[in-house]
């Protein structure tokens, strides 16, 4: 029972970490390697607002998410727009930005594990006799709420439909008057905000540290690659596969192997089936 419940929570956590990355890649084919950095940045900003300026969490979180979205817009408008289509430059540029943000935070004094975001409410509920604290329940609920919200957004709003159009067939969408740059900006902003959302929900369980940024990036890539880059259903499915396998590794093995499992998942998936569980087969695009 333990494994079922905590594995479920771990899976939802992975979903929160990875969905933003998957969204951006799915819509605009942009690998946002600054994902982990934006995650930590949002955590840090929110921490500053709550602990230093004494704002209530309900005010600080929207502000933090707005910051994340603005960073996303800036990254797209200043950098990605100019290198769009050159995959290598996209990867290198976003990775370098992420590195600059993370190491910049470190040199601003983000060291040690003293910083921690407050939890939404600290109580414990018992699910089938397994104690689960409220924050972890929130992780599950918000994880699914996020997926549902994005699903509704892409189905019932104009901008959402534009995103979906670009994701399905960029050229046809552009012919119908959908601005590719604008939707990509929206996608990167939204993806960054989702990374930030993950941060404010998940960071209360740990602490705001720079290393988290690198870890989140790898987890996000692992989930997206295993699920199929750009496939949202795949992302959800892969979060569960990897979430459970991670929890089982921790429960029966050493915590050190947690990361090994993720990396091994990426490597084997790419070798055997680069498009992942649910990705569309693009034989010539991905391998010769």
Give the count of alpha carbons within 13 A of 278, CB side only: 16
At 136, give phi and psi (nearest 5°). Answer: -70, -30
Bridge-based pairing of strands 124-127 and 130-133 is antiparallel
User: Which of these ranges, 1-9, 56-64, 66-74, 250-258, lies near other proteins under the rule CB under 8 A?
Assistant: 250-258
Task: Name which position in 2, 87, 122, 211 contacts other proteins (CB under 8 A).
Answer: 87
Task: Name which position in 122, 155, 260, 281 contacts other proteins (CB under 8 A).
Answer: 260
> Residue 3 or residue 259: which is nearer to other proteins going by CB?
259
Question: What H or E segment, with its residue span, contains residue 176?
Answer: none
Task: Name which position in 197, 220, 221, 238 contacts other proteins (CB under 8 A).
Answer: 221
Q: Does 82 bind other proteins (CB under 8 A)?
A: yes
Q: Does 125 bind other proteins (CB under 8 A)?
A: no
Q: Does 155 bind other proteins (CB under 8 A)?
A: no
| Maximum separation of any 2 CA atoms in the chain, in Å | 57
Region of 112 on the Ramachandran plot (φ > 0 left; ψ -120 to 50 alpha; else beta): left
* CA distances to 28, 199, 206, 208 from 109, in Å: 35, 19, 18, 12
The DSSP result for 52-111, as a single string, is IS---HHHHHHHHHHHHHHHHHHIIIIIIHHHTT-HHHHHHHHHHHHHHHHHHHHHTT--
> Residue 8 or residue 76: which is nearer to other proteins going by CB?
76
> Residue 1 or residue 284: which is nearer to other proteins going by CB?
284
CB of 229 to other proteins, least distance (A): 8
Distance CA 71, CA 51 (A): 22
Both tokens of residue 151?
A: 């699903």
Distance CA 138, CA 25 (A): 26
Restricted to residues 159-178, the positions that interact with other proteins (CB under 8 A) are none
Q: Does 74 bind other proteins (CB under 8 A)?
A: no
Centroid of chain to Cα 233: 15
Q: Does 266 bind other proteins (CB under 8 A)?
A: yes
Q: Does 180 bind other proteins (CB under 8 A)?
A: no
Interaction pattern, residues 18-57, with other proteins; x per rule: CB under 8 A: -------------x--------------------------
Interface with other proteins (CB under 8 A)? 31, 78-79, 82-83, 87-89, 91-93, 95-97, 99-100, 103-104, 106-107, 214, 218, 221, 225, 229, 254, 256-257, 259-260, 263-264, 266-267, 270-271, 274, 284-288
């Amino acid at each position: 029972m333990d494994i079922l419940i905590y594995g479920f929570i771990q899976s939802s956590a992975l979903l929160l970490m990875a969905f933003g990355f998957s969204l951006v890649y799915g819509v605009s084919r942009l690998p946002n390697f600054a994902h982990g950095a934006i995650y930590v940045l949002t955590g840090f900003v929110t921490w500053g607002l709550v602990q230093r300026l004494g704002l209530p969490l309900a005010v600080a979180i929207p502000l933090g998410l707005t910051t994340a979205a603005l960073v996303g817009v800036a990254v797209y408008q200043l950098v990605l727009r100019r290198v769009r289509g050159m995959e290598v430059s996209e990867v290198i540029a976003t990775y370098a930005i992420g590195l600059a943000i993370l190491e910049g935070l470190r040199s601003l004094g983000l060291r040690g594990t003293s910083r921690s975001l407050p939890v939404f409410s600290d109580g414990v509920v018992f699910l089938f006799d397994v104690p689960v604290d409220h924050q972890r329940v929130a992780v599950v609920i918000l994880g699914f709420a996020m997926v549902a919200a994005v699903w509704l957004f892409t189905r019932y709003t104009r901008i959402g439909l534009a995103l979906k159009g670009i994701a399905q067939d960029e050229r046809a969408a552009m012919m119908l008057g959908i601005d590719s740059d604008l939707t990509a900006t929206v996608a990167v902003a939204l993806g960054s905000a989702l990374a930030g959302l993950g941060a404010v929900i998940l960071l209360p369980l740990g602490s705001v540290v720079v290393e988290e940024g690198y870890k989140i990036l790898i987890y996000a890539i692992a989930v997206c690659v295993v699920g199929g880059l750009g496939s949202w259903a795949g992302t959800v499915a892969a979060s569960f596969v990897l979430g459970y396998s991670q929890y089982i590794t921790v429960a029966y093995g050493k915590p050190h192997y947690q990361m090994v499992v993720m990396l091994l998942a990426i490597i084997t998936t790419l070798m055997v089936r680069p498009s992942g569980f649910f990705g569309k087969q693009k034989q010539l695009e991905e391998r010769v």
